[in-house]
Amino acid sequence: MRTSKRSAAVAVTAVSLALLVTACGGGEKSGDGDQGKDAGKGAPSASATSAPPAEALSAAALEKLIVAQADLPGHQVQKAKAGEIPLAAAVSTDKPSCKPLADVMSYVAPGKPGATATRKAIEVPKAEGATGSPEDALGALAAPVTGVTLGSYDGQGAQEAFASLKKAGADCAGGFTLIGGGERTKISAVAPETVTAGEEALAWTITTDLDGKPFVTKAVVFRQGGTLASFSTLSFGGTVKALPKAIVDAQAAKLG
């Protein structure tokens, strides 16, 4: 039976444990290429299809646009190391339409991005009154960790990826099974949240059934032109109480 908070993180992210357990180390990962060949598709919104066709930005351009340490006071921002972000093909679901949401949870850009970039942002606990006790250490360990992923797309790719996520939020509200990294994770509920960012945005509270106990995480995605920004927040403490608003706002500002 998996009872530790680390095991909880493994269960929820399924394939991205390395992102979390290396929270004290740096590294580098800037994906580029056809990351999402097997992702589900949906029809883009009317407003999205009225936009002129986009050309995907390069991985180097995304590296300049993704949030950095200077953008997020109160957080530790790190690059992901090579091998820490799974291929889209390594993430699957029992319900095909839920695949894009599973991608976001696993720090993978959904759909067919031409290039990607990823960061992890760890909220730094306030030090006031800290004593160095085991309780303080556990509190630090439970600080929210947010994976930030930018994907840039050709043509209507970003709109299509966003539409597939909107469909996933509706189709998968009653739950689904996320498969990856040798784990089968039961997602018991996907509940919509309210968020404003970019040209169009979505957010959810995602509840996982972990050995009969709820493990609550948050996910946000927004589109700005041909770029899709996604955010997946979890905590070793088992429950994330709020959307990562400061991180979303900072990323939205950088994308314009």
Query: Which structure tokens are listed for 165?
Result: 């996520």
pLDDT of the residue at 72:
97
Q: What's the pLDDT score for residue 53?
A: 65
Give me the tens of pLDDT residue by residue for the chain, a chain 256 residues long. 444 444 444 444 444 433 443 333 333 333 433 344 334 444 454 444 455 667 999 999 999 999 999 999 999 999 987 677 788 888 999 999 999 999 999 999 999 999 999 999 999 987 655 544 455 545 567 899 999 999 999 999 999 999 999 999 999 999 999 998 788 899 999 999 999 999 999 999 999 998 889 999 999 999 999 999 999 999 988 889 999 999 999 999 999 9
pLDDT score, position 51: 54
Quickly count: other Cβ atoms within 10 Å of residue 145's Cβ: 23
Sign of CA dihedral 211, 214, 215, 221: positive
Residue 7: per-residue pLDDT: 43
How many residues does this entry show for the chain?
A: 256
Strand order in the sheet with 92-93: 75-79, 115-123, 145-152, 227-234, 213-224, 200-210, 183-193, 176-180, 92-93
Domains and CATH numbers, the chain: 5-255 (3.40.1000.70)
Backbone angles phi, psi at 11, to 5 degrees: -65, -40
- The C-alpha atoms of residue 205 and residue 111 are separated, in whole angstroms, by 21
The pLDDT, as a whole number, for residue 20 is 40
pLDDT at site 38: 38
pLDDT given at position 47: 47
What CA–CA distance (Å, rounded) separates 253 from 244? 14
**CA gap 170, 59 in Å, rounded:** 31
Q: State residue 39's pLDDT score.
A: 40
Q: Judge whether 246 and 148 are in contact, CB under 8 Å.
A: no
How many angstroms separate the CA atoms of 229 and 59, rounded?
14
Give dist(CA 130, CA 216) in Å, integer: 26
